Structure formats: structure tokens, C-alpha cells
Amino acid sequence: MADRPLSPHLSIWKWGPHMLVSILHRATGDGMATLGLALVLWWLGALAGGAESYAIFAGVMGSPLGIVVLVALSWAFFNHMSSGIRHFVMDIGAGFEIDRNKTGAFVSIASGIVLTILFWAVVLLT
């Protein structure tokens, strides 16, 4: 048997936007599952706990740090959704060409950012 790896090592692969989208897809999914679940459980507990508990929750989520957390969570949602749509398109057999793959990766990242900005513009301006 040869003394070499059975699969290519990471140093062989050239870094590309598709790799970033894949990593972000996994990270945002994990982040929404953990942080999102924690916030939903805290919110439900605050609702069940009465007016004082809910006031504490609303105060923390309305603080600058809470708003940063909510914006990050909404970005994670929109980025995960955008890359999920990209993966769906690839699952049906389209977008495997290198140029289209890179373009799709950039569009996925950009649409996550744009959708987050639009979402918060609607939330804050209405």
C-alpha cells in the first residue's frame, strides 16, 4: 500500500467562494439551531413568567447587544435560506459550471446581506 492519503488534503484545494458558502451554510444552521432555540425558549419562559419576566426579556433584546444578536440571527436565517436555494438549484442539476457556481456563491452571500438589510428596514421603519 502507498504512503499517501486516500483523499485529497485541504492544502491541495484552491479556496473559492463555494467553500465559503458551504461553511457559512453549516455555521448558520448550527447557530440558528442553538441561539434561535435558546431565544425562543427564553421568550416563551418570559411570556409564562408574567409581566416582570417579559419586561426583562424585552429590555435585553431591545438593548444594543440584543439588537446585534437579533440582526445576526436574522442574517443567519436569510443567508441559510439563500444558500439552501442555491443547493436546491444544484440538486436539480444546474449551476455546476465553474463560472455559474462562483456567481451563484456570490449571489447567495449578497442576497443574505441584502435581505437582512431590507428586513430590518421594514421592521424599524414601520
98 lies in a domain?
yes
Query: For the segment 5-34, what is each residue's pLDDT rounded down to a tens digit?
Result: 666 666 677 788 888 999 999 999 999 999
Task: Give residue-wise pLDDT tens across range 52-85.
Answer: 999 999 999 999 999 999 999 999 999 999 999 9
Q: Is residue 5 part of a domain?
A: no
Structural domain boundaries enclosing 113: 44-125
The answer to whether residue 71 sits within a structural domain is yes
Nearest by Cα to 28 from 115, 95, 109 = 109
User: Among 29-33, 45-49, 89-93, which stretch is predicted with the lowest mean pLDDT?
Assistant: 89-93
Domain annotation covers residue 38: no
Rounded to the nearest 10°, the torsion over CA 90, 93, 95, 96 is: 100
pLDDT at 73: 96
- How many domains is the chain partitioned into structurally? 1
In contact, 21 and 108? CB cutoff 8 Å: yes
Q: What is the pLDDT of residue 15?
A: 80
The verdict on residue 39 lying in a domain is no
CA distances from 52 to 45, 47, 110 (A): 11, 9, 40
Q: Is residue 88 part of a domain?
A: yes
- Quick check: is 112 in a domain? yes
Residue 1, pLDDT above cutoff 80: no
Q: CA 65, 71, 77, 79 torsion: positive or negative?
A: negative
In a domain, 78, yes or no: yes
